[in-house]
Amino acid sequence: MINSAYNKGERDSKLVYRLAGWHYAGVNRFDTNYAQRAEAEYKKELGKSQQKCQQYKQQQKASKGCTGEFINPAPGYPVTDNYGWSAWRGRVHHGIDLGTPIGTSIKASDGGTVSFVGTMDGYGITVDIDHCGKYSTRYAHLSQSLVKSQQPISSGQAIAKSGNTGIGTGAHLHFEIRLGGRWGASQDPKKFVKFN
Ligand SMILES: [Zn+2]
């Protein structure tokens, strides 16, 4: 009697162990599949995002979008006033002035998107270009703009004709580089561009 109860108990516990074994084996097997599946999914997503990144770079290259490098918007013309504190203005001069005669073709300093075209107090006729949200450039005292708001622009593209609109001391181009958006912190353009 004792013997048979013992045997039954042993049988039961063996069954429990066996069930537990299957159970744990099942969990382990599921975990393995899950890890493999997750890794495969991750690699697929990574591949997709790498592909997107590559496509974006190629598009940028093809459309000559923002390169992060700036060129002289009016090559060949002399600097007539520098960036920085201006005693006669009694304030900071946020850009650099180039001695361009009225009607000089003004070039986009880098590729981007036109963020503003119009007349601004003091600045006169002005074009602002957004460079992928990282920088913004401003071209002021123009006689004529050749672009529309939101128009994509390539580096070196003619965007305006210089003039003497707004408050100024005669015909010239006022050129600004700002960090971030249109009213971001102004920078010394000489840090980015080699002028004549
Ligand atoms: Zn100026």
Extents of the domains making up the chain: 1-62, 79-191
DSSP structure string for 77-133: --EEE-SEEETTTTEEE-SEEE-PPTT-EEE-SS-EEEEEEEEETTTEEEEEEEETT
Per mean pLDDT, which range of 33-42, 65-74, 128-137 is the poorest? 33-42
pTM assigned to the model: 0.69
Closest CA to 109 of 175, 37, 19: 175
The stretch 138-166 carries a mean pLDDT of 97
SS3 27: helix
Q: Is a pLDDT exceeding 60 seen at residue 138?
A: yes
Ligand 1 mean position to 71 CA, how many Å?
A: 18
Domain 79-191 part of CATH 2.70.70.10: yes
Ligand 1 mean position to 132 CA, how many Å?
A: 24
* Stronger pLDDT, 19 or 110, i.e. the higher one: 110
CB 166 within 8 A of CB 141: yes
pLDDT value at position 37?
A: 78
**What is the share, in percent, of the chain residues with pLDDT greater than 90?**
64
Ligand 1 mean position to 171 CA, how many Å?
A: 11
CB 93 within 8 A of CB 81: yes
pLDDT value at position 136?
A: 97
Ligand 1 mean position to 95 CA, how many Å?
A: 5
d(CA 128, CA 142): 12
pLDDT value at position 39?
A: 81
pLDDT value at position 62?
A: 46
Each residue's pLDDT tens digit, 11-55: 555 554 455 555 554 555 556 677 777 788 888 888 888 887 776
Ligand 1 mean position to 105 CA, how many Å?
A: 17
Q: Is a pLDDT exceeding 70 seen at residue 6?
A: no
Ligand 1 mean position to 133 CA, how many Å?
A: 23
pLDDT value at position 92?
A: 96
**What is the share, in percent, of the chain residues with pLDDT greater than 70?**
79
The stretch 142-151 carries a mean pLDDT of 97
Ligand 1 mean position to 93 CA, how many Å?
A: 6
Q: Is a pLDDT exceeding 90 seen at residue 131?
A: yes
SS3 67: coil
pLDDT value at position 38?
A: 77
Question: Which residues are 50's β-sheet partners?
Answer: none
Ligand 1 mean position to 94 CA, how many Å?
A: 7
* Stronger pLDDT, 55 or 118, i.e. the higher one: 118
Each residue's pLDDT tens digit, 81-93: 999 999 998 999 9
Ligand 1 mean position to 22 CA, how many Å?
A: 80
* H/E segment holding residue 32: helix 2-62
